[in-house]
Amino acid sequence: MIEVIKSHYKSISKFSVVGVVNTIIDFAVFSFLFYTFEIPFIIAHICAFCVAIINSFYFNAIWTFRNLKREQLMLQVTQFFIVGLVGLGFSTITLYFAAFFMPAILAKCVAMGVSLVWNYVASWVFVFKK
């Protein structure tokens, strides 16, 4: 496991930077919808995910993994969004149950942590493999 982390140090670092930016986008959209418009937190979570995943694909494809293949763009986009939807499923279930024990915004943090691990591994293995 340590060897895998060492061999992926740069891409994990870049993925983390992209993740921080996406987290800011996600939290901003979530908070805006949930607190300003009082949209139910699950719907706000899904909407925020949709906005953040577009940004995530672009920056992970051209910067983190540097493996955007023009001839396979639709395949990569499809794979990325499937990975993202599975991550959304994990994070939505986590958010739903965590919200019973903590404020929605903290539950959102827990849910994002769960999806972070899934999204990196699945993006590396299934989407941007070399």
Is the pTM higher than 0.85? The answer reads no
Q: How far apart are CA 113 and CA 123, in angstroms?
A: 15
Q: What is the pLDDT of residue 40?
A: 94
Query: Contact 130/76 with Cβ under 8 angstroms?
Result: no
**What are the tens digits of pLDDT across the range 80-130?**
889 989 998 998 999 999 999 999 889 988 988 888 888 888 888 888 776
**What are the tens digits of pLDDT across the range 17-57?**
998 898 899 889 999 999 999 999 889 989 998 999 889 88
Q: How far apart are CA 87 and CA 66, in angstroms?
A: 22
Per-domain residue ranges of the chain = 2-127
